[in-house]
Amino acid sequence: MPVSRDPPDRDPLAAALRPPIDETEEEKASRIAEEEAARRVSHAIDEAIRQEKQQRKKQKLVRLLLLGQSESGKSTTLRQFQRLYTPNAFREERVLWRAVIQLNIVRSINSILDALTDIRRRDVYPSTPYTSDPDSDSESENHIALPPHLEELRRRLYPLRHVESLLIAKLVPPNETEATTLGYGGSNSVNGNVPVRWGVHQPPSHPFQNKEVFVRPGAQWKLRSSGRPQSAGTTGQETVDESQAVLHHCRADIVALWNDAIVRQILRRRKIRLEETPGFYLNDLDRVTSLQYYPSDDDVLRARLKTVGVSEYSFHMEAGDERGTEWRIIDVGGSRSQRPTWVPFFDDVTAIIFLAPISAFDQVLAEDRSVNRLEDSVLLWKEVCSNKMLAKVDLVLFLNKCDILDSKLKSGVRLAKYVRSFGERPNDPEVAQKYFRSKFSAIHREHSPIPRKFYGFCTSVTDTTTTGGIIAAVKDMVLREHLRASKLL
């Protein structure tokens, strides 16, 4: 019985491309001519791409990418660049941030009011009962009535719920129905002792989690906030005026609520630290609730408005040796669902500023409360450092929110309780910053595909004084390395 043999070429693609067996000489000449023409087109496309990349280098185009988890300070860093290098445009837009700041204030107060809806004796009087429930098996867990003066404050501040709705309607288009489905403020609770890698303890969730508002990148939300007509017969300016008028009218009650000793005790017991959240203005109430309030540079930098998607900001240097250099700064979303969108921006990027909020050692991600924020930043930094696409890209590390770290440690929070490898070191801000810098530097050194210089800064990007100098130094370094790589130096 004859044995069949498989042909040596079993590649179906090669078989499909093989010339017909009965091909004539004329058909063969035509086929070869067509293949040659296709090769010329392909080579022309490749050459055009190569020349375009070369031309971008000669034009002194700097592409800077901002990376980091959500609420790490990326948008604030972008605003700092705008403030420093396009100051006139930045100042003209400050008034557009008033609605955002109003919303930040209102949401801070409403979060306090939410915390007052379900209080227990231990929240207010850890050792002295206020009322008692004789049917309760656990006296320390008894629910208690809200003290009369706080009940009255809550009643008088109820109009702020309406103001919140007005401001959300002003900033968010009606079709953005998902705009209030993201967690807000949930990463600020502390406590717990669940260990994770790198010796970090996981805090549990707390019940007072509101919903966060977000906007799409671009000018649309600013147009809505500016008071320009959105539909016939309505203007956003009416909402702004009404919101500020209500805040001004409620100023005394807001101040009384924030300064109330029982309220502060409840917030401490519930592990709610509003002072550490973006968009905190409760220590500036007299100024920000004035009818003549106009946002300052610092106010805009502190404002919290979550953006989803990619924000790109371009500007040209107008003086000195850098004159004519175009900068494009790209801010990408930092939540876990948005991180897969980062990779396309790695191509031709000049440098990356990575922001790691080191004050978040006792917090969890809003989108996944089983993940510690510091642990997430460490793993994310490791991924960026080890990415082969970024092997020749300068990485600049901002160990951010050092001001919050300072106040947190000085208030008595023990870093070693959450970061076990911190060990017996003094619970001192400078010691902690040095420790974190060494940890992140070691990751950079061990996981970079090829050796490269480490640039690390301890920052508080809302601070205009210190951050201005750091950004200027980073700008000079990035431009110098870019020109050297482009052989323009």
Q: Mark the binding-site residues for Mg(2+), compressed into ranges.
A: 307
The runs of H, that is alpha helices, within 121-235 are 121-124, 148-156, 159-171, 220-225
Helix axes 251-259, 148-156, angle to 10 degrees: 140
Which residue ranges are tagged as binding site? 301-307, 400-403
Cβ 253 vs Cβ 157: under 8 Å: yes
Q: Which structure tokens are listed for 355?
A: 């922001």
Read off the DSSP letter of residue 174: T
The runs of H, that is alpha helices, within 331-454 are 373-386, 402-410, 415-418, 429-447
Q: How far apart are the first and last CA of the chain?
A: 77
Q: Which of 217, 113, 216, 90 has the alpha carbon at shortest distance from 161?
A: 113
Cβ 139 vs Cβ 126: under 8 Å: no
Q: Which of 382, 392, 310 has the alpha carbon at shortest distance from 344?
A: 310
Q: Which structure tokens are listed for 433?
A: 């910053």
Q: How far apart are CA 58 and CA 78, in angstroms?
A: 25
Burial of residue 127, with CB atoms counted within 10 A of its CB: 0-12 exposed, 13-18 middle, 19 or more buried: exposed
Which residue ranges are tagged as binding site for GTP? 301-307, 400-403
Cβ 364 vs Cβ 69: under 8 Å: no
